[in-house]
Amino acid sequence: MSTTPTKLEPLAIHGGTPVREKLLPYGRQSLNEEDIQTVVEVLRSDWLTTGPKVAEFEERFSAWVGAKYAVSFSSGTAALHGAAFAAGIGPGDEAVTTPMTFCATANCVLYQGAKPVFADVSADTLNLDPGEVAGKLSPRTKAILAVDYAGHPAELDALRSLAEQNKLLLIEDACHALGADYRGMRVGGIADMTVFSFHPVKHLTTGEGGMVTTNDTALAETMRRFRNHGISSEARQRQESGQWFYEMVLLGFNYRLADIACALGISQLKKLEPNLARRREIAAQYMKAFRNLRAVEVPAVRDGVNPAWHLYPIRLNLESLAVERADVVRALRAENIGVSVHYVPVHRHPYYRDRFAYQGGECPVAEDAYERLISLPMFHAMTPQDVEDVVHALQKVVAHYAK
């Protein structure tokens, strides 16, 4: 692994030679011929959607994470919406969630006519701070909606205790955390409902897709109906039983995940263990390379937790640099390192500012972190050279801009 350069290299943004010839994205899918052939087989079958691959994927997935039930959806956002609906969140209700997430986490509460209430995050993991959550609960609170930021599980024991004490449901947005371990348990069977995403940058992909796992029979049945227009039976069930009659029992959506996507998910699930191992290996290499770099704060990992590393978010110690975060991002991209930023705190987006009159300063820990965050490339198909290039580029840039 590279070490900090002994002399300054000219930055690519100033006319120097880039570390890489081509852009390395912050994340991307990894597919092989087995994945492709699995999908081709479904394309040649009788069922492209609502067929046998849906149930097979759900059964395999629930077994892998250690939950009784898994309900597939057309996207992670649809899965979040399904969980919010099953939780009974509705007009006049509130759900306490984190600002340090993609907007879909909070939007699913709005879809139900309710209000997302933002609690600040812990400074180390950038996950929901249970103490801050406790201060945001009200008689209108229906659920706590936690996020496993970057793949590090939230403080699930404390949040579950809060939920139980206040007769609330705990929904875990684990879209970053498939395969993460929390105190000896896999994420997926701990919260009342756990939501996963299968977007191409995630640990396994179905193109687009999502899943909710739960141990509650009633919640699972409600979500199955919700994703299927609110209809109480599915097309394959009716065909197998020779029945045509169906009834709509609630107002749902068409959020079904097709057999084509589920077949890809089944194939990808077989590779999840090595994919996780590779991400953890990359995280360990980053940690070793950057932990003594004065301008960089590496992600924290709490005891009893093994993150899944969807992201590798560093924070810049800006007091050690002569420039701002935006300058570092531009310099890294000029070196062809496709860094990104996760996330603009949700309450700082124009829609939320305008609708709820947020002024800034409501969640100071999250807001301070946002000003310093950079997500480095992290995906399981990265080669050793890719990792070397990221290390080289970051060391090169911060050395150039050091005070």
Catalytic choice (115, 142, 202, 271):
202
Look up 202 and say whether it is catalytic: yes
What is the SS3 assignment for the chain?
A: CCCCCCCCCCCHHHCCCCCCCCCECCCCCCCCHHHHHHHHHHHCCCCCCCCHHHHHHHHHHHHHHCCCEEEEECCHHHHHHHHHHHCCCCCCCEEEECCCCCCHHHHHHHHCCCEEEECCECCCCCCECHHHHHHHCCCCEEEEEEECHHHCCCCHHHHHHHHHHCCCEEEEECCCCCCCEECCEECCCCCCEEEEECCCCCCCCCCCCEEEEECCHHHHHHHHHHCECCECCCHHHHHHHCCCCCCECCCCCECCCCHHHHHHHHHHHCCHHHHHHHHHHHHHHHHHHHCCCCCEECCCCCCCEECCCCCEEEEECHHHECCCHHHHHHHHHHCCECCECCCCCHHHCHHHHHHHCCCCCCCHHHHHHHHHEEEECCCCCCCHHHHHHHHHHHHHHHHHHEC
Task: Give the catalytic positions in this structure.
Answer: 202
